[in-house]
A and B are shown apart, each in its own frame.
Chain A
């Protein structure tokens, strides 16, 4: 079974621009979560989508947004980029069955550099 895929793997943007990152979950996984990893703040939860609805949201400004499509693929968008948005953005998917959630599996990440 194919793992979680993320595109692009590397991205360089300029301050003020916007960016869209994509994540394809493991087949059959309907929950997709996004995390930001930086040397200073570590791994921080951004948001989670299940059945095309945002279920949980971390403590990030409104410039960070996301969505999920009917095939469970997800995108996240960052508008008006700031230097501090430079990070590795990780996507994770998990299986959800009834009220039970299972462990999260991560993709390789998208390395975003803002100049």
Chain B
């Protein structure tokens, strides 16, 4: 069974440009999460989808970030316009069941974003 896949694995853009990250969760997983790790810091929550609905987007840094999950399958995270502080690794994760039951999220390998 395929795991969580993310694309691109690495993106280098200039400040002010736009980048769109894509995540394909494990098939059948209704819960999809975006997390971000800035260098040297902890992985931080960005938002949570249940199917196509945003359950919690309290971790989104500002309105330059837009996440979508049309049709409840794959998700995209767009950063527009990108700033230097947006550099980091963006992880997508999915789970089939409520986190409270197992605490297990299945992560993708991440999309490393470098903003110059």
Whether A and B are associated in the same complex: the answer reads no
Residues of A within 8 A of B (CB): none
Residues of B within 8 A of A (CB): none
